[in-house]
Amino acid sequence: MSGPAVSAPDFLAQASTAVEKSMELFMEGRSLPLYRMMGYQLGWVDENGTPREANRPLRVRGALCLLAASAISGRFKDALRHAVAIELVHNYSQMHADVQEGNTERAGRGSVWWVWGPAQAINAGDGMHALARLAMFELSKDGVAPELVSDALQALDLAALDLCEGSYFDTVYQERVTILVDEYLQMTARASGALVGCATRLGAMAAGETGSSRLDALQKFGQKCGISMRLSSDLRAFWDGSDRSGPLQGRILAKKKTLPVIHALEKADVKTKRALGEIYAQRVLDPGDIEKVRGILEAAGSRAYTEQVIAKLNQEASAALADAGIGQPEADRLLEAAQFATRTSG
Amino acid sequence: MSGPAVSAPDFLAQASTAVEKSMELFMEGRSLPLYRMMGYQLGWVDENGTPREANRPLRVRGALCLLAASAISGRFKDALRHAVAIELVHNYSQMHADVQEGNTERAGRGSVWWVWGPAQAINAGDGMHALARLAMFELSKDGVAPELVSDALQALDLAALDLCEGSYFDTVYQERVTILVDEYLQMTARASGALVGCATRLGAMAAGETGSSRLDALQKFGQKCGISMRLSSDLRAFWDGSDRSGPLQGRILAKKKTLPVIHALEKADVKTKRALGEIYAQRVLDPGDIEKVRGILEAAGSRAYTEQVIAKLNQEASAALADAGIGQPEADRLLEAAQFATRTSG
């Protein structure tokens, strides 16, 4: 979801707008009702299909794809189709995740399954999954060589598969009583890191980069950013006042697993674990419980631990850009964009 | 599901076995639990991951892909990867359809969502959707030119999108009281025809065919076969004694829409419509109701109508092969394979 009253830096907002326009162009003329559900998910229409202008979400993943391209070649237009494909995969996976996790709300409105039912949300997601690739095929119209189109598609499919592998563990972990911190971090690398890593890799590929070590470094940058975005939203769910009434807090009330809680349940002393366990053993939590949990996590050092993990991820992201030989001001822009995403995305 | 005690003609069984072996090779070495669910869906393992040999389903769509290739070039090995991709799309879509329709059973066992829950069945389906394309990318390893790989992938994605468009209407129609025969037939063209049409088109492409009119004709052949398979299972749900205790009859008890009922509700006289309406207004049907419905549908000519539609589809399939210039014995084999699928597949 987009954050509270924080506005994105200009270059990020511009990149996001460029992605948005390309998405609109690509989706234009698709009039079957299946596409209305997709338009709703993308924030373009209400549930009756009436256009809405306000509250377009920031296309963080697509924008990072463009910025990675720009860091290599100085321009981002070659990566627009890649960015569209990335955003479509991201949104397909959100539609399915909302069904899987029973999230009734997305970006301040009813989620697609909540409005149209789970069966249609599965359809809309599956259709958008196919469309993501068809968006990439449009590269052929731009005269891009078939082997480059094929390489880009393959990178996208590998990330889509990683996402599913991550989502498998995410689902398992939500149902398990205890998970280890390492398991959770490995899962987030797939479920949250893979697609952002693919976005920055594709951006570099679109800009003509062919050296595998540089592509790997840019992918690593994106992957670290993606994990950091997830863990930051874990943290903000407890400690970002501005989001407390929103879906982030809903995740806590629904007892979704977050790094601070996982850390405390694994590492804290027996008394702390027991106190936390008693709260989480309730069928549902209420807002008063959150205050208690927050105190426990602070005392157990779990907030500090999560902040350290995020700081380390951000350092690694920065180091990956250095490894890729990305100079200034491009490296700073990529880092600033990622930082902004970390502060605002869930 | 595979049929009762009817065995497939040798050439069809051989083609199916070749597809099966290629699928096994492609999936080999994937050991995450996500792939165990896929192996279960494919009939390879039980829910604990223990291999099972018996009851491998006939890979009708993959086999038709191989037979289409063979009809063009005299051999089918060039189409093995395409056939694998087709079967993976087919199986991904079955896993999702079972969630969407609440089918608890598939091929005589619990469906994937019934065993692992809907969230994991969505993951397994999404993962298999991504894998289908990765299977096609293996063509590059065989030295197939990038533009041919790209063309094949695009055909597959277009079919996958068609499938979702069809599935959208399928879901809507299941919830609507009345549908027109024409609406139902148009829906089945997408939901059931698109993928088989893609299978035969891809087979021809794999065999080196580049002429668009011939490719279109072979696609049309497959599409007509796919629709015929669906309508034949609608018919067998009522009039094939051997299947009465199985999932086909379950579809009727669950009041799933079928062509004979849709026909009677649109075309029969008022008295017949009322009698049928009263039975279908019950919350659930019992086996005694099926006997009554069967009588009503016979009297209303709805059985005969459905048989005529199927006969016409089969004629059109045959004519499409003639248009494609497919001679003997290849045309007879394709038709025999399709006929067999029509008698046994759901």
pLDDT in the model for residue A273: 92
The three-class DSSP label of residue A45 is strand
Look at A160 and B130 and tell me if their CB atoms are within 8 Å: yes
Look at A164 and B127 and tell me if their CB atoms are within 8 Å: yes
pLDDT in the model for residue A280: 85
Q: Is A292 exposed, middle or buried (0-12, 13-18, 19+ CB in 10 A)?
A: middle
Model confidence at A271, pLDDT cuts 50, 70, 90, reads: very high
Given a cut of 70, whether residue B241 has pLDDT beyond it is no
* Exposed e or buried b per residue across B122-138, where buried means at least 16 C-beta atoms within 10 angstroms of its C-beta: bbbbbbbbbbbbbbbbb
| B256, B45, B88, A97: CA torsion to nearest 10 | 70
**Set of chain B residues whose Cβ sits within 8 Å of the Cβ of A93:** 126
Cis peptide preceding B329, ω within 30 of 0: yes
Domains, chain A, ranges and CATH?
Answer: 10-338 (1.10.600.10)
Look at B167 and A131 and tell me if their CB atoms are within 8 Å: no
**Set of chain A residues whose Cβ sits within 8 Å of the Cβ of B125:** 126
Among residues B15, B67, B49, B99, the alpha carbon closest in space to that of B333 is found at B67
pLDDT in the model for residue B248: 67
Site from B164, B170, B172 to mutate, A interface, most A CB atoms within 10 angstroms? B164
- Listed by number, the residues of chain A in 154-193 with a beta carbon closer than 8 Å to a beta carbon of chain B are 154, 157-158, 160-161, 163-165, 167-168, 171-172
> Taking CA A237 as the corner, what is the angle to CA A312 and CA A161, rounded to the nearest 5 degrees?
65
Given a cut of 70, whether residue B2 has pLDDT beyond it is no
pLDDT tens string B242-257: 545 566 677 777 778 8
**Set of chain B residues whose Cβ sits within 8 Å of the Cβ of A99:** 118-119, 122
Instruction: Give the residue from chain A lying closest to B101, CA to CA.
Output: A119
Element (H, E) at B31: none
pLDDT tens string A309-325: 999 999 999 999 999 99
The three-class DSSP label of residue B51 is strand
Look at B123 and A164 and tell me if their CB atoms are within 8 Å: yes
DSSP labels, B65-126: HHHHHHHHHS--GGGHHHHHHHHHHHHHHHHHHHHHHT--EETTEE-HHHHH-HHHHHHHHH
Give the predicted TM-score (pTM) of the model: 0.94
d(CA A309, CA A290): 22
Given a cut of 80, whether residue B66 has pLDDT beyond it is yes
Query: How many contacts does A have with B, using Cβ atoms within 8 A?
Result: 134
Which residue among B99, B124, B161 sits closest to A134, beta carbon to beta carbon?
B161
The more confident residue out of A247 and A244 is: A247
Question: What mean pLDDT, rounded, does chain B reach?
Answer: 92
- Listed by number, the residues of chain A in 85-144 with a beta carbon closer than 8 Å to a beta carbon of chain B are 93, 96, 99-101, 117-120, 122-127, 129-131, 133-134, 137, 140
E strands, chain B, are 105-106, 109-110
